Structure 1
Amino acid sequence: MAEICLKSRAVLRTPIGPVSVTACKTGVHNINLTAATEIPGKKFAVAVTEAPDHWPGPLRKCVDWLTVYFKDAKAANQMPLPPFHRPTAKTDSFTYKVWETLTNQVQCGETVSYGQLAAMAGNDKACRAVGGAMRANQIPILMPCHRVTKSDGALGNYMAGKGNTLKKWLLEHEGAVVK
Structure 2
Amino acid sequence: MGGLDGGGRDGGGPPAGPHLEWTVIGSDIGPLFLASTEEGLVRVEFHASTDLIDPLAARLGLPAWRPAEGAEVRLAEPVRRIAAYFAGGLRTFDLPLDWRLTSGFNRLVLRELAASVPYGQVVGYGELAARVGRPGAAQAVGAAMGANPLPLVVPCHRVVENDGGIGGFGGGVETKRALLALEGVLPAPLF
Which is worse superposed, 103-112 or 26-35?
26-35
Paired with 1:24 and 1:13, the residues of 2 have a C-alpha distance of 21
Which is worse superposed, 149-158 or 165-174?
149-158
Shift of 1:100: 0.9
Counterpart contact for 2:34–2:41, Cα < 8 Å? yes
Paired with 2:101 and 2:156, the residues of 1 have a C-alpha distance of 19
Letter in 2 for 1:119: A
The answer for the alignment partner of 1:166 in structure 2 is 175
Q: What do residues 121-172 of structure 1 show as CA deviations (whole Å, max 9, x unaligned)? A: 221111111011101101110000001111111111112xx61111000001
Structure number with bigger Rg:
2
Shift of 1:32: 1.0
Match of 1:61 among 57, 77, 100: 77
- 1:82 equivalenced with 2:95 (yes/no): yes
Letter in 1 for 2:73: P
Residues matched between the structures, number: 152
Query: 1:17 and 1:158, CA in 2 relative to 1: closer, same or farther beyond 3 A?
Result: same
Find the residue that maps to 1:11 and give its secondary structure: strand
Shift of 1:177: 3.2
Paired with 1:5 and 1:153, the residues of 2 have a C-alpha distance of 44
Q: What do residues 32-74 of structure 1 show as CA deviations (whole Å, max 9, x unaligned)? A: 1029xxxxxxxxxxxxxxx6146333x12211110100101xx
Shift of 1:5: 4.3
The answer for the alignment partner of 1:44 in structure 2 is none
Letter in 2 for 1:71: A
Counterpart contact for 2:42–2:101, Cα < 8 Å? no
Find the residue that maps to 1:14 and give its secondary structure: coil
Match of 1:52 among 52, 60, 67: 67
Structure 1: 5+ residue stretches without partners:
36-50
Q: Percent identity between the aligned chains?
A: 31
Counterpart contact for 1:24–1:56, Cα < 8 Å? no
Shift of 1:89: 3.3
Letter in 2 for 1:66: I
Structure 2: 5+ residue stretches without partners:
1-16, 49-65
- 1:143 equivalenced with 2:154 (yes/no): yes
Runs of 4+ in 1 over 2 A off after TM superposition: 53-57, 86-90
Find the residue that maps to 1:143 and give its secondary structure: coil
